[in-house]
């Protein structure tokens, strides 16, 4: 499961669709409608918010807004709260953003070279999903890092 902190506009088509599907699964987890993924580390920051379900729904609305901009048809009726519902923004560390951007660049360069050139090759893109704001710090403790080589 990858729920990106970066702005959805940076995700290529496959990345945006995958994030949508994975976040819909996360919504079901927070609703208590699944047996698995209950302790997935990517959910920690949502669980720590005052209203985890409304917060994950706000994240989903951000993804759907980007899909709308691209002319995609994401089914907003799958989101269980209204977009107008206010939620507290979530802090994300600078190190986490750096890690995610580098990870995303690697994935996109291999999967969609033109998207990579358009979004990352000429200038570093550093935008966050509207739900997040950046604070000082390293990679988040919930991040699953690959083994050191």
Percent of the chain with pLDDT over 90: 75
Q: Check residue 149 and give its pLDDT.
A: 67
Contacts of range 118-122, beta carbons closer than 8 Å, 24 or more positions apart: 119/10, 119/12, 120/10
Distance CA 42, CA 47 (A): 10
Question: Would you kindly state where each structural domain of the chain is located, as residue ranges?
Answer: 8-135
State pTM to two decimals: 0.93
Quickly tell me which residue has 């690959």 as its tokens.
146
- Non-local CB neighbours of 75 within 8 Å, separated by 6+ positions: none
11 pLDDT more than 70 = yes
Distance CA 2, CA 82 (A): 23
Distance CA 98, CA 146 (A): 15
**How far, in whole angstroms, is CA 12 from its chain's centroid?**
13
């Amino acid at each position: 499961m990858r729920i990106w902190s970066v702005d959805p506009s940076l995700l290529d088509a496959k990345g945006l669709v995958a994030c949508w599907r994975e976040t819909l699964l996360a919504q079901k987890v927070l609703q208590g409608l699944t047996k698995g993924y209950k302790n997935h580390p990517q959910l920690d920051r949502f669980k720590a918010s005052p209203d985890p379900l409304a917060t994950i729904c706000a994240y989903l609305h951000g993804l759907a807004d980007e899909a709308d901009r691209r002319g995609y048809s994401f089914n907003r009726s799958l989101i269980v709260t209204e977009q107008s519902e206010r939620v507290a923004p979530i802090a994300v560390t600078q190190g986490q953003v750096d890690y995610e951007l580098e990870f995303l660049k690697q994935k996109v360069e291999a999967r969609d070279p033109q998207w990579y050139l358009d979004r990352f090759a000429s200038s570093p893109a550093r935008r966050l999903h509207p739900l997040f704001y950046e604070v000082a710090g390293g990679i988040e403790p919930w991040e699953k890092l690959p083994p050191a080589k």
